[in-house]
Amino acid sequence: MARYIDEILQPGERVLYSTNAHWIFYFPAILAWIVALGLFVASRQIDIYSAMVLCLLGSGLVALAALYWTVKGWFHRFTTETDVTNLRVVHKTGFIKRRTFEMALDKVESVDVDQSILGRILNYGDVTIRGVGEGIEKITTIASPLAFRSSITTR
């Protein structure tokens, strides 16, 4: 499947910077996999049959939730694209129900970056792009938001 940006490039337009949703979307899945593994190991250490079965059942249920969150996080990252070309900023989310926005670089008034402490440590954050007569667009939880902002503001 081709990337969305490759399908919409105009003649003479080239991609300067690409980023994606940050891997933090996998965090609930990672925690659930750790809990499922812990319950499975605990079930092997317990001698009481009913407690062992309960731990195995809990491990299976948590593993199913972890699998769901893993697929959900992967699908979000797979269907989200954020690019800066020499002419515009392009952001696309969704697969069947698609939402896109494009803003010409000469219409960008300001680019704001919001990062939490964890976001600063793991290098993710939210970017708000304000356009002259174009409105405000917010892109949440993207990787390397400062590099993304720099690619928009430096010309």
Domain final residue, candidates 75, 103, 135: 75
| pLDDT (0 to 100) of residue 154 | 85
Residue 43 lies in a domain: yes
Parent domain of 46: 26-75
* Global pTM value: 0.82
104 and 67 in a common domain = no
Q: Which amino acid is at 57?
A: L
d(CA 122, CA 25): 12
97 and 58 in a common domain = no
Q: Which helix (H) or strand (E) holds 23?
A: none
129 and 90 in a common domain = yes
The total number of structural domains that make up the chain: 2
53 and 35 in a common domain = yes
90 and 149 in a common domain = yes
Q: How many CA atoms lie within 13 A of 94 on its CB side?
A: 6
pLDDT of residue 134 exceeding 80, the answer is: no
The pLDDT tens digits for 110-122 are 999 999 999 999 9
142 and 86 in a common domain = yes
Domain final residue, candidates 75, 109, 139: 75
d(CA 5, CA 19): 12
Where do runs of H (alpha helix) occur along the chain? Answer: 4-8, 27-45, 49-78, 117-122, 145-153
Domain final residue, candidates 16, 46, 75: 75
149 and 87 in a common domain = yes
Residue 14 lies in a domain: no
The pLDDT tens digits for 21-32 are 999 989 999 999
Residue 10 lies in a domain: no
Residue 19 lies in a domain: no
C-alpha separations of 41 from 32, 34, 50, 51, 148 in Å: 14, 11, 15, 12, 43
